[in-house]
Amino acid sequence: MNTAVVYNVQRFSLHDGPGIRTTVFLKGCPLSCPWCHNPESRDGRPQLAIKADRCLGCELCMPACPEGIAGPLDSRTSIHRPDAFCIHCGACAEVCPAGARDLLGEDMGVARVIAEIERDRSYHAESGGGVTFSGGEPIANGNAAFQ
Ligand code: SF4
Ligand code: SF4
């Protein structure tokens, strides 16, 4: 496989190594450390994230969902997790105008990630920076494309 699930390419990272860096966050980690800073990265698959307080009640997500489970979110009920029947396809996130539904993680190939990193090349050169692969666990099996 020459792809892995990337959930963020963070520009202008100042705390992930020397200089100005581009940090590539990969999903997937076999550990369950109690101090984990990025628990949303543990599962190696793309996952739907819910931000109920952003919902506008527009109902655009309802017809988009193949499982018939998407709909307006009520922040008063503190729903922050997808329905148990969610297959994490991301169709509702694509049509949600408010970012109340967001698919964390996208299958990306090596060439595409390198193209993203290349955009920051001048910052790396000027500051003595570079690239940091983070996660998740970047050396986990599912991330072999970037090892
Ligand atoms: S991610 Fe897919 S299955 Fe899950 S709620 Fe959204 S549209 Fe429905
Ligand atoms: S599409 Fe987004 S804003 Fe509209 S009802 Fe669904 S979750 Fe709320």
Question: What's the structural domain count of the chain?
Answer: 2
End-to-end CA distance of the chain: 12
Low-confidence ranges of the chain (pLDDT < 50): none
* Structure confidence at residue 78 (pLDDT): 53
- Shared domain for 96 and 63, answered yes or no, is yes
Task: Based on the fold, state whether residues 76 and 32 are members of the same structural domain.
Answer: no
What is the distance between the alpha carbons of residues 54 and 18, in angstroms, rounded to a whole number?
Answer: 36
Q: How far is the CA of 60 from the centre of ligand 2 (A)?
A: 6
Give residue 107 CA to ligand 1 midpoint distance, Å.
17
Does residue 139 share a domain with residue 110?
yes
> Residues 66-82: pLDDT tens digits?
999 999 998 776 556 77
- Structural domain boundaries, residue 5: 1-40+105-147
Look at residue 15 and give its three-state secondary structure. coil
**Residue 96 maps to which CATH number?**
3.30.70.20
Are residues 26 and 57 located together in one domain of the fold? no
Give the global pTM: 0.81
Residue nearest to atom 2 of ligand 2 (CA): 96
Q: Are residues 78 and 124 in the same domain?
A: no
Hey, whose CA ends up nearest to atom 4 of ligand 1? 86
